Structure 1
Amino acid sequence: MMKSLVNGIGRLSVFTISCAVVSLVSGQTIDDLAARQQEKLESAIARLEAQREEIFQKQIPLAKTYNDLERQVAESRKAVASARSLRDNNSLSLDELRTAVRETNKQYDYIDRVLFGEFAANFESALSVGEIASDQNAPRTRSLALEADDGDRLAELEANLSMIEAGLERVERIFGGYRYSGEALSSDGRLLEGVFTQVGPMLFFSDDAGSEAGWVEEGEGLRARIAETHSNVAEMVAETSRAGKGMLPLDVTLGNALALEGVEDSIWEHLKKGGVWVVPIVGFAIVSLLVALAKCIQIYKIKATAPVVAHEIARALRLGDKDKAIEIASRQSSPSCEMLLEAVENADESIELVEEVMYEAMLNTQPRLESFLNVIAVTAAIAPLLGLLGTVTGIIKTFKLMNVFGAGDPKPLISGISEALITTELGLVLAIPALIIHALLSRKVAGVLSSMEKLSVAFVNSLSRKVDRRGGPSVGN
């Protein structure tokens, strides 16, 4: 701190001495210095005036140039702003275009994969077996074109549009009918070349020689196959295919009638499908049928005897005309005839005996009327059991075939399923009528016995009045 103070004092002393020396020198030359400075000042002022004049002379064009430059700068700034705005707009438009392109691509993908795909699937499913194998298969042509285009969207679009045009043309042609070449299998399996004639959903085929013609149905492997038809239908199809016009048969069921006709079996074929258990079922059916016919003839030809006949016989007996009573009793139908004859023969006996004789005749009649009805009852009971046995056998056979062939193909299993179902069907078909017939016959037998009982009661009552008039307990006493 002290050292700094000493240094400051020393410097101040040196400055003071220097100022004193300068003052002494300046006092000698101040006038010269002032004169020189005055000259310099005047020279500088003159130069300043000249410079100002020169600047004034140049100021107007420079100002004009400056203004031009300012205007150019403003115009340039406007151009830059406009360029920036255009650039921003272009950038926004490009983004919008990119968004629009993405949306358009999405729409096209939807149309291509969904709409065109569904149209192609529906179109192909609507084609007939003749069109599938011919050059009329537009969906197949589209598929081949798409495979060959290798992702070219324009080519894909052209292929799709070509398919749509082909579909519209097909709709127009199919209304009036059209012909095209193709191949079809005959009923015996021969491959024939000829002409398909298609009218709406109906398809016909005629070979080049005209010897094979008729309806066309779908065979194995989507092959067109000529269905078995009547000769007149084949002639109509062959003539129309050859001439290009004519009359064609119409099937409003679109082939369902022919298919149903093909699966209909005769009675013998139906029974054969039922297997071995069809034999006892059919055997019981034949026996029950014969018994039912015989019992119907026996029972339903019996005519009920009215109670008034018993009164007439009793009146004849009261008059002592036994021959007339026997004649009246003989005119009645069996079994009332036998019962009344027995009663007339024993009319001179006691009432209790006559009643017992008539009751005995009724007891003798009942077994004859009810004989063999149990055969029908047993048939009604056993037929469903035989059908159930056939069902179990058929199911066992079906499972055995499944072990051999698997469950994928149902055709080998049809025999077992047919045996299981047909035996049950036949058992029920036999049991239900047998049960109804047994009930009807039993009711009729009960009605006959009831009418005989009423007749016996009427006869006994009439005979009792005869005994009462005689005043004794019985005729014989």
Structure 2
Amino acid sequence: MNLLALIQAAGPLLWVLLALSVYVVYTAAVRTQILARLGRDPSALIERARAVTAESGPAAALAEVDRAADPTPAAAVLRAGLSRAERGVDAAQAAMNAAVLVEDTRLYAGLSALGTAAQIAPLLGLLGTVIGMVRSFLVFSSITSPTPAQLATGISEALINTAAGLIVAILAYVARNALRAKADRIATQAERVREELPAWLIPRGLTPVSARAVPEVALNFDNVPAGGAAR
């Protein structure tokens, strides 16, 4: 039996599984390309920005990062922090926190869809199995002595849909886990920038507001008469 004959024997539900498999493969391929572009090593850019910050300040480091045109999330977080560095470490930290949230959305886009496909594909296969078995039992109810060929239609539909559902689920599950592991590694680089950049700024006097010294007020009671204030 060739592939076309199997598809015809599996019934209409197999077309749904085939469409789902195309979606899984397309999504996995697109996300692989995007993560490959975002996954470039930003270590050289980070070290260069650190050196420029120490020598010339955050503005010069920001210009260096802009010239690099690095698309990685680490570069985006670095750019956000340096752009607010002149306002203090607290402002830079807030800008980097917002940038990390935006980059996480870019990194993990599409992974929930692959997870959903991995969950519903076996259910679709199970539905096809049930429909195929129902067809087989309908043959028994309508024909006193069904032939093997008559029973084989429902049984083949059940088994083909089961196998197709499992194949799609395995593809989606493996693709999701592989892409998530890649996204986690890229996100770690962005977290590294968020943790390290405040330490670059503090030596330049851009201390957080909470850490700035509060001026002390000296109280002198030496000239106050013992009996209280003069009337």
C-alpha distance in structure 2 between counterparts of 1:324 and 1:406, whole Å: 88
**CA RMSD between the two structures:** 2.2
The equivalent residue for 2:109 is 371
Q: If the length of structure 2 is used for normalisation, what is the TM-score?
A: 0.80
Q: Which has the higher contact order (CA 8 A, sep 6+)?
A: 2
The equivalent residue for 1:290 is 26
Secondary structure at 1:434 match in 2: helix
Q: Are 1:387 and 2:125 matched, yes or no?
A: yes
C-alpha distance in structure 1 between counterparts of 2:29 and 2:37, whole Å: 12
C-alpha distance in structure 2 between counterparts of 1:456 and 1:309, whole Å: 14
* Cα deviation, residue 393, structure 1: 0.5
* Cα deviation, residue 440, structure 1: 1.3
* Cα deviation, residue 269, structure 1: 2.3
Q: Are 1:413 and 2:133 matched, yes or no?
A: no
The equivalent residue for 2:166 is 428
Give runs of aligned pairs for residues 296-375 of structure 1, distance below 5 A. 296-302=32-38, 303-306=40-43, 309-320=45-56, 322=58, 324-330=60-66, 331=68, 332-375=70-113
* Cα deviation, residue 336, structure 1: 2.3
Q: If the length of structure 1 is used for normalisation, what is the TM-score?
A: 0.41
C-alpha distance in structure 2 between counterparts of 1:301 and 1:310, whole Å: 17
Q: Deviations over 1:227-269 (max 9, x none)?
A: xxxxxxxxxxxxxxxxxxxxxxxxxxxxxxxxxxxxx312x32
Q: Pick the structure with more strand per residue.
A: 1
The equivalent residue for 1:223 is none
Which amino acid in the other structure matches residue 316 of structure 1? Answer: V
- Does 331-340 or 353-362 show the bigger shift? 331-340
The equivalent residue for 2:202 is 464
The equivalent residue for 2:2 is 265
Give the total of aligned pairs: 206
Give runs of aligned pairs for residues 65-464 of structure 1, distance below 5 A. 264-266=1-3, 268-302=4-38, 303-306=40-43, 309-320=45-56, 322=58, 324-330=60-66, 331=68, 332-406=70-144, 409-464=147-202
* Cα deviation, residue 458, structure 1: 1.9
* Cα deviation, residue 385, structure 1: 0.4
Larger Rg: 1
Q: CA, structure 1 residues 276+468, in 2 after alignment: closer, same or farther (shift >3 Å)?
A: closer
Q: Is the 8 A contact 1:310 1:458 kept in 2?
A: no
C-alpha distance in structure 2 between counterparts of 1:314 and 1:357, whole Å: 18
* Cα deviation, residue 323, structure 1: 5.6
The equivalent residue for 1:58 is none
Q: Deviations over 1:68-98 (max 9, x none)?
A: xxxxxxxxxxxxxxxxxxxxxxxxxxxxxxx
Secondary structure at 1:390 match in 2: helix
Structure 1: gaps of 5 or more residues: 1-263
Secondary structure at 2:85 match in 1: coil
Q: CA, structure 1 residues 320+304, in 2 after alignment: closer, same or farther (shift >3 Å)?
A: same
* Cα deviation, residue 282, structure 1: 1.4
C-alpha distance in structure 2 between counterparts of 1:310 and 1:464, whole Å: 17
* Cα deviation, residue 288, structure 1: 1.7
Identity %: 22
